[in-house]
Amino acid sequence: MSEDHGEHLGFLRRTVFSVDHKVIGLQYGLTGLVFLFFGFCLMMLMRWQLAYPGEPLPWIGGLFSETTMPGGMMLPEFYNSLGAMHGTIMVFLGVVPLAVGGFGNYLVPLQIGAPDMAFPKLNAASYWCYFVGGVVMLTSFFVPGGAANSGWTSYPPLSDIATTGQTVWLFGMVALITSSLLGSVNFIVTIVQLRAKGLTFFRLPFFVWAQFVTSFLLLLAFPPLEAAGVLQLMDRLAGTSFFLPSGLVVSGMPLPVSGGGNPILWQHLFWFLAHPEVYVLILPAMGIVTEIIVTNTRKPLYGYKTIVGASLFLGFMSFLVWAHHMFMTGMGTAISNFFQVTTMIISIPSVIILTVLVLTLWGGSIRYTVPMHFALAFLPMFAIGGLTGLPLGLAASDIHLHDTYYVIGHFHYVVAPGTLLALFAGVYHWYPKVTGRFMNETLGKIHFWGSFLCLNGVFFPMFIQGIAGASRRLHTPTMYAHAQGLQGTNVFMSYSAWILGLVQLLFVINFFWSLKKGRQAPENPWQATTLEWATPTPPPHGNFLKEPEVNRGPYEYSVPGEKEDFIPQNV
């Protein structure tokens, strides 16, 4: 059970080295937001290069060292570092820590009526592991040769022969994966063991289910990549050759390794993690969106058991689709058919979840709050992300689209216009619970429309580029004839990205301004039913004033014959 809840703890124990799940959740959330912003800035640098290849970066170009940007012009190795680090930072340091570490940590114990996570010290260890992993990742920019530059997928042999930054990257990854493992064990035990009296599994809010499935994905998918990371470290540092075949000749010189390895082994281990990882990003977002849509529609979730079943099935299937990332490695007919079939099957639970959420709106009384704007926008964005997965999941159409901008467009629609909008929805929705004040609605709406339009401006043209055959990861896209006619789209996308960056500043201003000046919020400002709203605002150490008891399902809205249009679970 939870640690000592006394208020006698010192400042550092209360705010920095705390074991309270809410403090750790906020630490995760804020660190994740900072990393997201940093990763976004790396992208803005890349987007300048893509819009104006061969031209020096105005103003900020001079801030960089001569080894990365001589005369303000971006070198290819720095571009490759930006690409690899942008991917890693956004996924492993930004979205996952925010969705699981931030929202999960803060909300799961509250929503199940627990005073804390099952293992509070393990929880703190998980955050600090993440923090150290993140710092290690960032220091890699300062090692000789620069940060990792073999793509966020780090395919060997390129990553085995890359500069020191890759070693630092691997150390960082091992720390980050360890953090996820510690966290996932904690979530699973907490949800199984610490539910309030009367809170059966089928009375859990969908957000808790989503975190539960996510935790199993983290628990089962990350160890293979952790093992792979250690093997790659050994290849780099101890002269092994798990991923290096015999007879490699690099820059005209034979590579002094024992050989006998296979670079494709890395891809299997990597994608065995990285496909479930996609659902680690999406499921918590779906959980957040579900809570917000139900609360603001004022009616029960359409098909609660259906959506729970679909998310369990989604989690299970996510382990059986990894090789659809590897159709171009030389895969034969039978095995590719297997992975095409599983990939089509995994689209079905996603369709079901979207259907459930849309049908929930039917017959509702929809309130258009700022979080509701973001949550509703998640639906079409995730739909575009999902639908554009189809031609990539079919091996035959993947021949043309693989490794083009189409792929980047597809997964960004899932995680950027999709998941990130959901995470913003969550920030606006639970901010009053966490701080006792509302965020400013007008700024919130400008932030929403700016983000919504600009995200589409950045990512939709990627589909057009991909269909035209424009390859990803090119430092100078205009090098190829078929990409030259598309250069206008690159300029348009870059302007969208920079405006998107400016719009995010509104969010940052709103976030801090509202801490002091925001309108005061009562305990249950949205008139919601789940248990987190039954605590004082902000919830104290130990969460509940008296142990809650649950009497009903999570979404009892507009029950006929009742005076209020909501009945909290604990009433």
Partner 1 sequence: METTGYGWGFPPSLSTQSPAIDQLINVVHWFAAVLFVGWGLFLLYSLIRFRAKPGQRASYESAKSRLPKYLEIGVVLFEIFLLIGLSFPIWSKYKSEFPREQDSLVIRVVAQQFAWNIHYPGRDGVFGGTDPRFISDADPIGLNPDDPAGKDDIVSVGWLHFPVHKPVIAHITSKDVIHSFSIPVLRVKQDAVPGMVVPIWWEATQTGQYEIMCAQLCGVGHTLMRGFVSIDTPEEYEVWMKEQESYLETQPGGQL
The footprint of partner 1 on residues 137-166 (CB under 8 A) is 149-151, 155-158, 161
Instruction: Please identify, using beta-carbon distances, which residue of 399 and 508 lies nearer to partner 1.
Output: 399
Q: Which stretch binds partner 1 (CB under 8 A): 12-20, 177-185, 331-339, 516-524?
A: 331-339
Residue 571 contacts partner 1 per CB under 8 A: no
CB of 475 closer than 8 Å to CB of 80: yes
Q: x/- contact string, 511-550, with partner 1 (CB under 8 A)?
A: ----------------------------------------
**Encoded tokens for 382:** 């995730």
For 123, the token pair is 């929880």
Site for partner 1 in 360-389 (CB under 8 A): 360-368, 376, 379-380, 383-384, 387-388
Q: Nearest distance from residue 365's CB to partner 1, in Å? A: 4
Two tokens at 290? 């579900």
Q: Rule CB under 8 A: which of 193-222 touch partner 1?
A: none
Cβ at position 531, least distance to partner 1 in Å: 21
Closest to partner 1 by CB, 9 or 467: 467
- Measured from the CB of residue 397, what is the shortest distance to partner 1 in angstroms? 5
Question: Which CB, 381 or 427, lies closer to partner 1?
Answer: 381
> What does the per-residue mask of binding to partner 1 show for 56-95, with x meaning CB under 8 A?
--------------------xx--x--x------------
Q: Which is nearer to partner 1, 397 or 515 (CB)?
A: 397
Residue type, 329: T
Q: CB of 287 within 8 A of CB of 209?
A: yes
Interface residue with partner 1, options 65, 193, 442, 484 (CB under 8 A) = 484
- Residue 570 touching partner 1 (CB under 8 A): no
Cα–Cα distance for residue pair 548/565, rounded to 1 Å? 21
In whole angstroms, what is the distance from residue 22 CA to residue 7 CA?
15
Pick 281 or 310: Cβ nearer partner 1: 310
The Cβ-side half-sphere exposure at 437, using a 13 Å CA radius, reads 12
Q: What six digits make up the tokens of 196? A: 């309030």
- Quick one: which H or E segment has residue 442? helix 441-467
Token reading at 66: 């001569």
CB–CB of 287/187 below 8 Å?
no
Nearer to partner 1, 15 or 484 (CB): 484
- Find out whether 75 and 149 touch, Cβ atoms under 8 Å: no
Query: Site for partner 1 (CB under 8 A): which residue of 139, 164, 397, 551?
Result: 397
CB of 276 to partner 1, least distance (A): 21
Q: Which is nearer to partner 1, 246 or 258 (CB)?
A: 246
CB 15 → partner 1: shortest distance, Å? 39
How many residues bind partner 1 (CB under 8 A)? The answer is: 100
Which residues 6+ apart lie within 8 Å of 474 measured at CB? 480, 483
Of 63, 333, 516, 517, the one binding partner 1 by CB under 8 A: 333
Comparison of 21 and 475: residue with beta carbon closer to partner 1: 475
Task: Tell me whether residue 41 or residue 255 sits nearer to partner 1 (CB atom).
Answer: 255
Q: Which of 1, 16, 60, 359 binds partner 1 (CB under 8 A)?
A: 359
Among the listed residues 88, 190, 404, 535, the single contact to partner 1 using CB under 8 A: 404
**Token pair belonging to 534:** 């039954």
Quick one: which segment of 66-74, 126-134, 420-428, 478-486 binds partner 1 (CB under 8 A)? 478-486
Task: Report DSSP state, residue 141.
Answer: G
Pairwise CA distance, residues 490 & 499, whole Å = 14
The dihedral sign for the CA sequence 129, 135, 137, 140: negative
Give, as ranges, the residues between 233 and 292 that touch partner 1 (CB under 8 A). 245-252, 254-255, 261-264
Nearer to partner 1, 336 or 496 (CB): 336
Task: Looking at residues 439 to 468 of the shown chain, list those that interact with partner 1 (rule: CB under 8 A).
Answer: 464, 467-468
Burial class (CB in 10 A: 0-12, 13-18, 19+), 70: middle
Radius of gyration of the chain (CA): 24
Question: Interface with partner 1 includes 336 (CB under 8 A)?
Answer: yes
Counting beta carbons within 10 angstroms of the beta carbon of residue 347, is it exposed (0 to 12), middle (13 to 18) or buried (19 or more)? Answer: middle
For residue 396, count CB atoms less than 10 angstroms from its CB and return exposed for 0-12, middle for 13-18, buried for 19 or more: exposed
**Cβ distance to partner 1 smaller for residue 82 or 129:** 82
Task: Give the residue among 93, 263, 264 at the shortest CA–CA distance from 175.
Answer: 93
Min CB(38)–partner 1 separation in Å: 22
Residue 197 burial class via C-beta count within 10 angstroms: exposed 0-12, middle 13-18, buried 19 and up: exposed
